[in-house]
């Protein structure tokens, strides 16, 4: 008895209506705004360790580090929501690939 894997491609694509295509633009903008909000704090951490600029602890203090952490997390959440919904809509447009295991 031998098991063979057969891949079947379904080339039909699901089309999005005009309303769904227009909703892609605000989601993409929200995703990129989130990335832009989080990026300065990601860059600040390694530069703060190299003494090119003051570290976050020098600027905000131990207790105040939660302020840039909160801004970074908010930006990453915004980016996750914006890009996650884009990914869901994008997978609808991809051709479906089905794998079948055939036993002989």
| Residue 93: predicted pLDDT | 54
Tell me if 6 sits within 8 A of 102, measured CB to CB: yes
Helix (H, G, I), strand (E, B) or coil at 13: coil
Tell me if 95 sits within 8 A of 13, measured CB to CB: yes
Residue 60 has pLDDT above 70, yes or no: yes
The DSSP call for residue 12 is -
pLDDT tens digits, one per residue of 63-89 = 999 999 999 999 999 999 888 765 555
Domain boundaries, the chain: 3-103
pTM for the predicted model, two decimal places? 0.58
pLDDT tens digits, one per residue of 27-48 = 889 999 999 999 999 999 899 9
The structure tokens listed for 17 are 């209506």
Report, as an integer, the average pLDDT of 43-61: 91
């Amino acid at each position: 008895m031998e098991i063979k894997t057969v891949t079947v491609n379904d080339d039909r694509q699901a089309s999005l209506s005009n309303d769904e295509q227009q909703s892609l633009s605000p989601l993409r903008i929200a995703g990129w705004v989130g990335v832009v909000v989080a990026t300065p704090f990601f860059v600040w951490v390694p530069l703060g360790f190299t003494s090119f600029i003051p570290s976050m602890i020098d600027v905000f203090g131990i207790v105040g580090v939660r302020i840039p952490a909160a801004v970074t997390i908010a930006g990453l959440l915004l980016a996750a929501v914006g890009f996650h919904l884009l990914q869901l809509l994008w997978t609808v447009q991809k051709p479906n690939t089905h794998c079948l295991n055939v036993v002989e």
